[in-house]
């Protein structure tokens, strides 16, 4: 994270065209090595609305509107970017937060340059916590004094007058997406109009690179509780994540899913790392960032989130801000939550690769179900429960339920007497919490009125898993990927 971008978020003022599309003839395609140019800024979610209502018809009988929309569809069909068509006229010379295109006699009050066919204006940008700014508005002005037509193939053809508007639209829409001029390879984003009338591999690769930053980085599942990790040269950088800019600070990305409105809180502590925490949605729209402690290298944030999927980003600074805090090193994240109901426990898996559509939920409460969470005091009286929506194919069959508690490297299994036993005492044996004919929904009471300090436990971290199996195949157990975490402190 670059320090100068950390603590503000504002719209940037007018930014003019990304280059003029000049007239000249180009022939052939030479290089196979991608050399696309990325301008840096991009659209949130790799999509934007574009307003198009161009009047008039070319000499070949194709309307200007159809030609422009066809160019939009090419980018939609060939790349990860999505133009949302709005067939309505918007003046591209008005700064209104809407993307528009039109023919104009001048460049919104200024003269077109000699041989200028069209200009793309980037009018509004919004600074981001990480990486390059987001694009908010981009407009295209087409020089109405140029003779246009709509056709495929070579730029100069016998019996066809004018320049192909479709390939010009393709080029300018590439600037809208965030591509700059291509100088090494011949592509639709070349700085000169020529015989290229469709997107080339270089154009497509450019969009994939600009909007594919998440694929450069490993995304880990976030389990609420305690996470121990480190930021170092083995990690992704902000530059790789956002596909642009000069921020080479390291990041680790954790994904988590919420099934109901939930209050989340995260603390990142480190003895040496200048810690930064960022909360974002899965399109990297940033929802919050750290409230850094004034006297340590630590950071923290909390927020109430609606149901959905989210990223927690562990980050640092390119250049450390605090004395004694570096930009590489180990860290610990404490992740806690509070919700009004049982928590979804992630997608189902099995011990031996079997398939199941079962759904798992669980929760820990100290107030008889008024709220559920994962962080508690050692004196709290806790109830721990879970529910399994059994796969319809398994309902009505003889089966069994399993409850596992992971404490460090130790695995404890709940037996039918309600006691947790160490699985190491009987390796390979699956201890069953209950045997029964499986109904549509199976409820499990893992613990009732559990007071940790009464068991001489003042501090502990436990990850619970619940599952079920069929008596006809006792070696197979279906369970969930995300643990039900219990973190107890004095």
**CATH number (domain holding residue 364):** 2.70.50
Q: What is the DSSP letter of 169?
A: H
pTM of the model: 0.79
Regarding whether 269 and 130 lie in a shared domain, the answer is no
CA 374 and chain centroid, separation: 25
* Domain count for the chain: 3
Give the pairing type, strands 473-480 and 441-450: unpaired
Describe the crossing of helices 64-78 and 165-177 by its angle, rounded to 10 degrees. 50
Regarding whether 100 and 219 lie in a shared domain, the answer is no
Regarding whether 230 and 185 lie in a shared domain, the answer is no
Regarding whether 449 and 323 lie in a shared domain, the answer is no
State both tokens at 56: 């008039």
Regarding whether 246 and 118 lie in a shared domain, the answer is no
Taking the alpha carbons at both ends of the chain, their separation in whole angstroms is: 35
Q: How many CA atoms lie within 13 A of 327 on its CB side?
A: 18
Beta bridge partners of 399: 436, 470
Regarding whether 284 and 428 lie in a shared domain, the answer is no
**CATH number (domain holding residue 224):** 2.60.120.380
Task: Report d(CA 372, CA 344) in Å as an integer.
Answer: 12
Regarding whether 359 and 244 lie in a shared domain, the answer is no
Regarding whether 265 and 182 lie in a shared domain, the answer is no
pLDDT value of position 45: 87
Regarding whether 123 and 172 lie in a shared domain, the answer is yes
Regarding whether 232 and 182 lie in a shared domain, the answer is no
Domain interval for residue 256 = 214-339
Tell me which residue of 195, 203, 481, 444 sits closest to 342, measured CA to CA. Answer: 444
**CATH number (domain holding residue 104):** 3.40.390.10
Residue ending a domain, among 158, 181, 211, is: 211
Task: Report d(CA 414, CA 404) in Å as an integer.
Answer: 6
Residue ending a domain, among 166, 182, 211, is: 211
Regarding whether 300 and 393 lie in a shared domain, the answer is no
Task: Report d(CA 264, CA 343) in Å as an integer.
Answer: 13
Beta bridge partners of 230: 330
Task: Report d(CA 63, CA 197) in Å as an integer.
Answer: 17
Q: Taking the chain (490 residues) in consecutive chunks of 10 residues, what is each chunk's mean pLDDT? A: 26 29 31 43 92 96 97 97 97 95 94 88 84 90 95 92 95 94 84 91 92 91 94 92 85 94 94 90 88 75 95 89 85 95 91 90 96 96 97 97 95 94 90 97 96 95 97 94 94
pLDDT value of position 354: 82
Regarding whether 285 and 205 lie in a shared domain, the answer is no
Residue ending a domain, among 282, 308, 339, is: 339
């Amino acid at each position: 994270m670059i320090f100068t971008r950390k603590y503000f978020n504002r719209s940037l003022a007018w930014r003019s065209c990304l280059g003029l599309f000049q007239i000249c003839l180009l022939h052939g395609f030479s290089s196979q090595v991608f050399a696309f140019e990325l301008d840096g800024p991009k659209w949130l979610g790799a999509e934007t609305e574009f307003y198009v209502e161009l009047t008039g018809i070319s000499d070949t009988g194709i309307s200007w509107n159809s030609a422009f929309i066809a160019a939009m569809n090419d980018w939609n069909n060939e790349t990860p970017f999505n133009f949302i068509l709005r067939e309505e006229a918007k003046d591209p010379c008005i700064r209104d937060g809407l993307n528009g295109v039109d023919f104009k006699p001048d460049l919104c009050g200024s003269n077109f340059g000699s041989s200028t066919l069209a200009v793309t204006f980037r009018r509004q940008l919004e600074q981001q916590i990480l990486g390059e700014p987001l694009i908010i508005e981009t407009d295209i002005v087409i020089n109405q004094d140029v003779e246009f037509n709509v056709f495929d193939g070579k730029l100069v053809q016998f019996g066809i007058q004018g320049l192909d508007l479709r390939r010009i639209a393709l080029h300018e829409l590439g600037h809208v997406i965030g591509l700059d001029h291509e100088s090494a390879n011949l592509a639709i984003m070349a700085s000169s109009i020529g015989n290229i009338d469709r997107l080339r591999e270089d154009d497509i690769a450019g969009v994939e690179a600009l909007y594919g930053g998440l694929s450069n980085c490993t995304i880990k599942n976030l389990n609420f509780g305690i996470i121990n990790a480190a930021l170092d040269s083995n990690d992704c950088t902000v530059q790789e994540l956002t596909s642009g800019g000069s921020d080479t600070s390291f990041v680790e990305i954790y994904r988590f899913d919420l099934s109901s409105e939930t209050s989340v809180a995260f603390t990142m502590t480190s003895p040496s790392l200048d810690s930064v925490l960022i909360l974002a949605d899965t399109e990297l729209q940033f929802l919050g960032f750290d409230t850094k402690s004034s006297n340590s290298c630590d950071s923290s944030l909390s927020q109430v989130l609606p149901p959905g999927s989210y990223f927690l980003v562990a980050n640092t600074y390119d250049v450390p801000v605090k004395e004694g805090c570096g930009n590489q090193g180990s860290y610990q994240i404490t992740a806690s939550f509070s919700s009004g109901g049982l928590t979804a426990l992630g997608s189902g898996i099995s011990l031996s690769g079997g398939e199941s559509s079962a759904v798992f939920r669980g929760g820990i409460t100290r107030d008889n179900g008024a709220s559920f969470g994962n962080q508690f005091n050692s004196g709290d009286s806790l109830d721990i429960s879970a529910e399994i929506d059994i796969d319809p194919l398994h309902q009505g069959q003889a089966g069994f339920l399993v409850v596992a508690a992971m404490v460090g490297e130790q695995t404890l299994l709940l037996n039918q007497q309600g006691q947790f036993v160490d699985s190491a005492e009987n390796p390979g044996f699956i201890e069953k919490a209950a045997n029964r004919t499986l109904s549509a929904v199976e409820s499990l009471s893992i613990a009732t009125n559990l007071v940790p300090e009464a068991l001489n436990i003042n501090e502990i971290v436990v990850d619970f898993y619940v599952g079920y199996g069929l008596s006809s195949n006792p070696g197979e157990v279906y369970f969930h990927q995300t643990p039900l975490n219990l973190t107890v402190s004095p």
